[in-house]
Structure 1
């Protein structure tokens, strides 16, 4: 796993900017909130580890890295605007650091793409979405742990309702022609993701 502080410094160095003081610590605290079981430091670290492998594929690597740091910065398990609030926080931070309007707008769109509601066509968005969904193509053991972690986050939902809704979400990924957009993740994760999802939906 990457050193989180080093990854943070590299992200801002790629942007040619200095991060606002204390911001990294604020984010690390946010990712350790008690309601988080999957959307935690483990998930952030896994995403950043994947990004280390594909940094060279990003058009704006600093923006993708910062978007990964912020994509789950706000996580209310019953909230409907987590991505928007996370994106707004990122934009405020970038503005405070002196990032240009175009860069701020791209980071906002990167984070909003992790809603996974709409097809994404912009290459950096495709890369970030694939990183966020890399968990689907993890080892069966890690996928099973992920499944338990998501259930723990939704412990307030009755069992039958949860199982029906969870199966619908997982099947929506399985029903896609391709789960992953980029050749890198398609080659490495697609087959395992389909195996994991089929087993979970069975």
Structure 2
């Protein structure tokens, strides 16, 4: 998905809530600046495009598609590997920006909840949120070559750390996912991505521990 397509999706979405073109463009440029930062190798516009394409494929099953799209645009807007509260800060940023657009409080709250759900990717009582976290994690269940590229990009984002430190932390993350009863919470993604995700995660884990 090209940048112009991403911008068009943003403008179409935001224009449904505000006719202030200056505000819409300013917010787009802010999104652009965050996701284009030099330290982003995975959590960038390619990740947004990937999620937006997945969302479009499941559009008929999403109750509040607008909020779903807002959540995609803002879920990783704050991304600092040295912070432990990226999801919270991203949700606050979403609240501030959506308020400027005139989005209703109920939608803003749901957007914040969806962003915060990416902290643990546990099952929620909301179908849209479960689908949102599944799409966020769907890279885990792609072909190995795609997954391997994702791994390399994540490693680049943590390039300030030596392998010994990074690998120890990554092993914890991998075991966390592998110990989940279900990585993917929706029937669709559990059926299509669960098995391959577990194979990929286990393969990466084996490589890191030298099996």
Number of residue pairs matched? 200
Cα distance in 2, alignment partners of residues 163 and 58 from structure 1: 37
Map 1:174-189; keep pairs closer than 5 Å. 174-189=178-193
**2:138 counterpart (134, 156, 162):** 134
Distance of 1:183 and 1:7 partners within structure 2: 27
Unaligned runs of 5+ in 2: 207-211
CA-CA distance at 1:25 after TM superposition: 2.2
1:184 Cα deviation after fit: 1.6
Once residues 73 and 137 of structure 1 are traced to their aligned partners in structure 2, the CA distance between those partners, rounded to angstroms, is: 24
C-alpha deviation, 1:121, in angstroms? 2.6
What is the match of residue 147 of structure 1? 151
Q: CA deviation at 1:192?
A: 1.3
Q: Residues 160-175 of structure 1 correspond to what in structure 2 (within 5 A)?
A: 160-175=164-179
Pick the aligned partner of 1:198 from 195, 199, 202: 202
Unmatched 5+ residue regions in structure 1? none
- Which segment is superposed worse, 115-124 or 164-173? 115-124
Give yes or no for contact 1:130–1:180 (8 Å, CA) kept in 2.
yes
Q: Verify: 1:5 aligned to 2:22, yes or no.
A: no
Q: TM-score, normalised by structure 2?
A: 0.88
Preserved CA contact (<8 Å) 2:141 2:196:
yes
The corresponding residue for 2:49 is: 45
Write out the 4+ residue segments of structure 1 that deviate beyond 4 Å after TM superposition: none
CA contact (8 A) 2:121 2:133 kept: no
Give the distance between the partners of 1:145 and 1:178, measured in 2 at CA: 24
State the shift of 1:6 in Å.
2.7
- 1:161 Cα deviation (Å)? 2.1
Instruction: Determine if the alignment matches structure 1 residue 62 to structure 2 residue 66.
Output: yes
